[in-house]
């Protein structure tokens, strides 16, 4: 897009929604174009639930982060033989036709269109679906080894604070929004959305992994 203002983003989404219909949920970061009144009003009018990743924690939107990394790496490789205008659609064509472990071995195009689109992969007679078992198992085992403490409603916590002198402030969990994201009521009565990596317990238990050093209460 030539611009990333709210109006340009809204018009781009209107084109997409007119072709495929609005989604049930849209995930974005906290860019001003996504947090504006106009954008929120537009999504509500389309019946779309808008979920924003916690500030200062882009890893919360893991799927997008991984796609951006894959996109950059693949497009840069494609620039060796193509210009940027040709490299992008070529990458998207192959990506959408390729099976994904997170989609149980199906491709995005098959799940979306109900049929497999033809790509260069078909030319070399490759069957990647059979080779996805091992990486899928490795991903599942890796996920099992990283245990996180799950917070419950009304749990007392320390929340990571990015402004002011105090790096950690007192709060209380008031909503579990899923995917390790929580809505927290702060001691001053304000509210914030935080990822579990940005929280620690004020109770008798500690986070089992990726926990910051203990904090002493005054």
What per-residue confidence (pLDDT) applies to 40? 96
Instruction: For strands 25-28 and 49-52, give the pairing.
Output: parallel
The count of structural domains within the chain is 3
Q: Collect all residues with Cβ–Cβ distance below 8 Å to 101 and sequence separation of at least 6.
A: 132, 135, 136, 139
Where does a domain end: 111, 145, 179?
A: 145
- Residue 99 structural domain: 64-145
- Quick one: how far is CA 112 from the chain centroid? 19
Contacts with 161 (C-beta within 8 Å, 6 or more apart), sequence order: 167, 168, 169
CA distance linking residue 119 with residue 128, whole number of Å: 13
Which CATH number goes with the domain that contains 214?
2.30.30.140
- Spell out the per-residue pLDDT of the chain, length 218, in tens: 567 789 999 999 999 999 889 999 998 888 899 999 999 999 999 999 998 888 767 666 666 777 788 888 888 776 766 677 888 888 888 888 888 887 888 888 888 888 888 777 666 655 555 555 555 555 455 555 455 678 999 999 999 888 878 889 999 999 998 888 899 999 888 998 888 888 999 874 443 333 444 455 54
Rg (CA), the chain: 21
Whole-angstrom Cα distance, residue 125 to residue 123? 6
Same domain, 132 and 196: no
Tokens of 114: 């109900």
Q: Is there a domain that residue 123 lies in? A: yes
Assigned token pair, 192:
């914030």
Please indicate, yes or no, if residue 57 is contained in any of the structural domains: no
Q: Which long-range contacts (CB under 8 A, 24 or more apart) does 33-41 make?
A: 33/4, 33/5, 33/6, 33/8, 33/9, 34/6, 34/9, 36/6, 38/6, 38/7, 38/10, 39/6, 39/9, 39/10
Is 184 within a domain? Answer: yes
Alpha-carbon distances, residue 153 vs 157, 171, 177, 178, 185 (angstroms): 11, 12, 11, 12, 11
Same-domain status, 27 and 68: no
Alpha-carbon gap, residue 131 to 105, rounded angstroms: 9
Is 97 in the same domain as 132? yes
- Of 145, 179, 195, the residue that ends a domain is 145
What integer pLDDT is reported at residue 206 of this predicted model? 41
Q: What is the pLDDT of residue 54?
A: 80
């Amino acid at each position: 897009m030539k611009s990333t203002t709210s109006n340009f983003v809204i018009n781009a989404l209107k084109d997409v929604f007119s072709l495929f219909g609005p989604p049930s949920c849209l995930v974005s970061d906290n860019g001003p174009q996504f947090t504006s009144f106009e954008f929120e009003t537009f999504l509500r009018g389309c019946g779309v639930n808008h979920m924003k990743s916690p500030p200062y924690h882009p890893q919360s939107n893991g799927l997008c982060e991984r796609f951006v990394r894959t996109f950059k790496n693949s497009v840069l490789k494609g620039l060796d033989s193509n210009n940027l205008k040709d490299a992008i659609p070529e990458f998207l064509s192959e990506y959408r036709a390729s099976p994904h472990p997170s989609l149980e071995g199906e491709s995005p195009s098959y799940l979306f269109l109900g049929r497999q689109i033809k790509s260069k992969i078909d030319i070399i007679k490759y069957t990647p679906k059979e080779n996805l078992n091992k990486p899928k198992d490795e991903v599942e085992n890796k996920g099992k080894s990283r245990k996180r403490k799950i917070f419950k409603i009304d749990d007392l916590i320390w929340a990571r604070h990015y402004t002011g002198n105090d790096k950690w402030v007192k709060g209380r969990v008031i909503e579990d929004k899923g995917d390790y994201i929580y809505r927290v009521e702060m001691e001053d009565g304000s509210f914030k959305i935080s990822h579990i990596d940005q929280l620690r317990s004020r109770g008798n238990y500690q986070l089992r992994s990726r926990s910051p050093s203990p904090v002493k209460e005054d």
